[in-house]
Every structure is written in structure tokens, then in C-alpha cells.
Structure 1
Amino acid sequence: MTATDTLHRPLHDLRISVTDRCNFRCRYCMPAEDFGPGHNFLPRSEILSFEEIVRVARVATGVGVRKLRLTGGEPLLRRGIEDLVAMLSTLDGIEEIALTTNGTLLAHHAEALALAGLARVTVSLDALDPLVFGHMNGVGARVERVLAGIEAARTFGLGVKVNSVIQRGVNESEILPLARWAREQQLTLRFIEFMDVGETNHWNSAQVIDAQEILSIIGREFPLDPLPPTHAGETARRWGFADRRGEIGIIASVSQPFCRGCTRLRLSADGQLFTCLFASHGHDLRPQLRGRADDSVLHSALLGLWQSRDDRYSEQRGQVHAPKAEMSYLGG
């Protein structure tokens, strides 16, 4: 069966955070002043085991989940991540397993991930300029490592998309260089409006470069044609280059909310289920997972949670003031 919520949205996607740790300190997600050397990350005992993750995913297929995405933190920091992919790839009903990464460890893992059954990766790349990139990632990481990871993923047959978060006064100068590069590389590029996820990124609407402005900047050099959605619930609005050499997309959660098409459920690394990226709290599955509850109890929990879901934060932005969970904890 496919569960639907109070706004008749079906459950289709499960995003699974495998760790709350990351080797970047991007200011829009995990700023160093809040996630410094003394920050208390989740203890190992609280993080779900691979077996627990697989059990949740298996039960979730019974309420409609067909696609899985592994996130973090940085998921490639989780030891044995390829083993988890292999375990998930055996589940009946799962059509695709994807992974979101900052790309710095991807060159090392790409072959094993592909062999394990991973279908595609989404790589975060907010700038090509080394200085801008180093400033944005907060640790001075080199953009060459990310580009090498992308190349390795393509070499081993993984589908690749690239995501770029754009902030005014930070990296708007990178919009055109990224578009040129993606077109030359024949890669799918998604620009993301700077969002107010969590409480530590000091979000200010003045820093949002909206979809129309991004399109205008790219359109100065490349004519663009709108493309139809590839599937229901797609988050990005898509445009193709007029010469048919690739496409770009924009995820416009701020200026053009798409809450009414959201089909995503999120599982945090410590077993909390969240029905919205902007939620303040989740539903703790660990008592069932680590107690004696059978799968029917888990099934009922997932079904009831989704059927009662009424989240539409982006449509109500400015009207909701509850503290929000951090993106590095939820997995984006």
C-alpha cells in the first residue's frame, strides 16, 4: 500500500542519515563556531546499526517507499557504508538507492559503492573558484578533490547530479562558471536557494538569490527552455540549454515552495523520523527497534505518522516560529 497524508501526498522517498558528523563546516549547514572541536556529536551507542536501518527501510516499503537516499552529515564518513548499500539493495520494492556527499572521499569509495548497488550520487559543489570554495566549506578543502570524486563516480557508472547552494554576498559570482562547467561536462546541475534550515546558519532573506534572478544571470549567456517534470514530487524546476547540451534546475524552497508535492520522510542517524526538513522534533523509533516490537508495530508507527502529516513549512514561512532541527542532523 502507499500511505497518503492529510494533504493527500503519497509517501515515496526515505532519506536516511547515517551520521551527524561531517568533514566540512559549511556556514549554511554546520558553521564552525557552533560545531567546533568541543561539539558533542551523537555517541556511537545512539546511532542506528546497519541492521536497524535496513529494518526501517524494509518496513517503509510496505507503506509506499520506493527510493532511498543516504545522507549525513557526510555519509562517506560512516565506516562500511558500502556494506549498508549492499544490504539495502536486496530489499524488494526499492527502485533506487542514491547518496548525497560533499565529494571529498568519493574517489576512494566510488567503485565499491557502484558494485554494492548504488545508482547515483548527488555531489555538493558550491563554487569552482578555489578561494570561494575553501571559504564556503569552512575547512579549506580543495575543490580538486571534489572534481576527482565526480570523475570517479562517472567512471564507475554512477549517475551524478551536482547541487550548489547560492548565497548573496558569498558565491553568486559562481553561478555562471558553474553553469558553464556543468554544460561542458554534460552534468545535471541544481542551484538551491539559501534556506532557513536549523537555527545556526543565521539565515537572512536578504541573502537569498531567488530562482528568477538565477535564471536571469544564466540567461545572459545561455538561452534556456523550460522542461517538464520527470516525475511527481520533483523538487527542482528544470530548464534545458537551448542547444540541448544539458540542463540546469533550481530548488526554490523559499520563493516557489513545493510543499504540496513533497513525498519525503527522513530518518536521523539516531532513529528519529521527521516528516519535514523544517520540523522541530521527530518520532523516536529506537524503543521499537531495540525492544521486542515486531515489524507490524513499526509498520503501524510509520503509517500513522505519515497519515497524520500536515507539514507545509515553506508555504507558511514567517508564520511558524518553533525551533528547527539542524540540517546536519536531519540529512538535508
Structure 2
Amino acid sequence: MPAEVFGPGYRFLPREEILSFEEIHRISRIATKLGVRKIRLTGGEPLLRRGLADLVAMLATVDGIDDIALTTNGVLLAHHAEALALAGLSRVTVSLDALDPTVFSRMNGVGAKVDRVLAGISTAANFGLPVKVNCVVQKDVNESEILPLVDWAKDSGVTLRFIEFMDVGETNGWSTEHVVPAAEILDRIRSRHPLVALPPNHTGETATRWRHADSDAEIGVIASVTAPFCQSCSRLRLSADGHAFTCLFNPTGHDLRPLLRGGAPDSTLAAAFAGIWSERTDRYSELRGETTQAKAEMSYLGG
């Protein structure tokens, strides 16, 4: 959330406009009837939501949910890891774009310390939570961190994902000149580490997966700019204020709050969900450069 946009005077949503845990639980329960099997809690920063472990515990009771994941910047993870694990969290993904303190500080822009993130990762692993690390690579910003991150992740037993810098939202200053292609990222890694290709875990997986030739440590690359995967996308995002988005690049979603708070039965909500999903035509990444539509911010939709 860029400080020049979301500074001290920024007015966030009133609490009553944000979905309650009970409303999120209800939507999740209805979604499983339509085939949803995985839930990921994202942000902004989800660990800023008071009582998040309670939400995890509620979601863990939903029949049909096989996996509950959390994406976090890791700054508060050490404090919450035990409660999250006990509540039923399946795994955690930590955003970590650099190990070098100077590069890390310059990229996060809010004074966070990389040591706190690393402590959070270690603590999560100690409480039995599988950890994956995501790194967004930006040209002339953190390319130098690719190999150090690979070395660290291999030694730490952490799954690592490199993600091409995407044009999410309107405030991150994106241009094609800032993109480091996935092929170039892999070439850098192979210059030091021989890799063995791995098959996809499931249909629609976003990452191309590899492992080190001399270990089981896994690396993935998500080529969302140079090799879009719109046709196999199976993700639907629910914003904190109850809008359903069928694409990360949509400017607006479908507001479910009137149904949630207007007394609509589960069947009506299910029909709304089914209609939203079946009528989607999202292909922004495939059409990149051919459209100038505005986009919701990443901090609004999560990853």
C-alpha cells in the first residue's frame, strides 16, 4: 500500500462495512456446495485483522474445505503462528522480496525489518506449518536477490516462488521495462543450481515447478506476464467488504452484501455465485496492452 496514497490521513472503511467472520464463514460454506475446496486468506495484511485465528477455526469446520492457507508479509507471523496452527491453518505463504536489509527496507517502504519476517517463517515452521515464500522480481530493484534467496530457501527447506512483476492496480508504477521474464529468472538460478522439472500438482496450477537436482527443495516461477494462464484460472476473490472478483485485474466486483444482509436464503446466494462464475469472460493478462481498463489495487484483492 504505497505510503503516498495510503498515508496517515487515509480514511479506511468503517467497521460495519467489512464482512464479519460469520458472513465470511457463510459464504465459504455456500461456495463448497459449488466445488470450492481451498480457501486463502490474503490482504492487505490479514494478520492486522483482530482475532484472525478465530476465523481460521470457523473455516476449519466447513465440510468440503481441504486446505486453508494464509498469505502474509510475515512481520506479525511469529506472534500469531501458534494460534493459527492450533486453529487449523494448513499452510502459510510469506511475501519476501529480498534478504538484504537495505533492499528489503527500500521495497517495503514502511520500516519493516527482514529479521522479523525470517523469525516469523522460522516460528511458523516450528509449529508445523508448511511455509512457501513468494518473491516478486523487479528489474534493477531486487534482481540481485534471486540467487541469495534460492540459497537460503534450499538450506531452510522452504518452497520458493518467483513471480513476474505485474500491473496490478494503478499505483505501483508498473511498466514492461520493470519485468524480469521468468525465463531469465530460471537462467540465473541454473547458473548456480541444476534443476529438475516437476509435474503440476493440479489442473490450473499457476507456477511452473522445479526442484534442485541434489535435494527435494522446490522452486517455482509464475510467468503471469510473459505466459498468461487466464484460460485455466480457477480463483475467485472475496474482498473485505463483500465484493466477489473473478479476476485480479477487474476494476469492480459483484457486491454480495445486499444478499448477505438482506435476508436472502443460501440458495439465492449460491445462485448468485454460480451466475457470477459462469458468466465471467476475464482475459486481462492475455489481452495486456489491448485494454486500458482501470484495476483494483492488490491491497484490496490480495494475491
Does residue 1:58 correspond to 2:17, yes or no? no
- Give 1:219 deviation, angstroms: 1.0
**d(CA) in 1 for partners of 2:191 and 2:302?**
34
Does residue 1:76 correspond to 2:47, yes or no? yes
Does residue 1:179 correspond to 2:147, yes or no? no
Q: Aligned match of 2:78 in 100, 107, 122?
A: 107
Quote the residue 1:8 is aligned against.
none
Quote the residue 1:272 is aligned against.
243
- Give 1:244 deviation, angstroms: 2.4
Does residue 1:304 correspond to 2:275, yes or no? yes
- Give 1:186 deviation, angstroms: 1.4
**d(CA) in 1 for partners of 2:54 and 2:218?**
33
Task: Give the residue type in structure 2 aligned to 1:119.
Answer: S
**d(CA) in 1 for partners of 2:239 and 2:134?**
21
Does residue 1:154 correspond to 2:95, yes or no? no
Quote the residue 2:166 is aligned against.
195
**d(CA) in 2 for partners of 1:32 and 1:169?**
21
Task: Give the residue type in structure 2 aligned to 1:42.
Answer: L
Structure 1 segments (4+ residues) deviating >6 Å:
none
Q: Deviations over 1:239-288 (max 9, x none)?
A: 11111241210111001111111100000000000000011110000001
Q: Aligned match of 1:252 in 214, 223, 241?
A: 223
Q: Deviations over 1:182-218 (max 9, x none)?
A: 0111110000100000011110100100101101111
Task: Give the residue type in structure 2 aligned to 1:188.
Answer: T
Q: Deviations over 1:108-141 (max 9, x none)?
A: 1001000000000000000000010011110121
Please provide the CA RMSD for this pair: 0.8
Q: Aligned match of 1:211 in 182, 205, 210?
A: 182
With normalisation by structure 2, the TM-score equals 0.99
The SS at the match of 1:212 is helix
**d(CA) in 2 for partners of 1:131 and 1:293?**
52
The SS at the match of 1:313 is coil
Quote the residue 1:35 is aligned against.
6
- Give 1:46 deviation, angstroms: 0.5
Higher relative contact order at CA 8 Å, sep ≥6: structure 1 or structure 2? 1
Q: Deviations over 1:154-189 (max 9, x none)?
A: 011111100001101111100000001001111100
Structure 2: 5+ residue stretches without partners = none
Task: Give the residue type in structure 2 aligned to 1:256.
Answer: A
- Give 1:331 deviation, angstroms: 1.4
Task: Give the residue type in structure 2 aligned to 1:161.
Answer: K
Quote the residue 1:48 is aligned against.
19
Task: Give the residue type in structure 2 aligned to 1:34.
Answer: V
Quote the residue 1:313 is aligned against.
284
Q: Deviations over 1:64-105 (max 9, x none)?
A: 100000011100000000000000000000001000000010
Structure 1: 5+ residue stretches without partners = 1-29
**d(CA) in 2 for partners of 1:256 and 1:239?**
17
The SS at the match of 2:136 is strand
- Give 1:55 deviation, angstroms: 0.5
Q: Aligned match of 1:325 in 267, 273, 296?
A: 296
**d(CA) in 1 for partners of 2:27 and 2:75?**
29
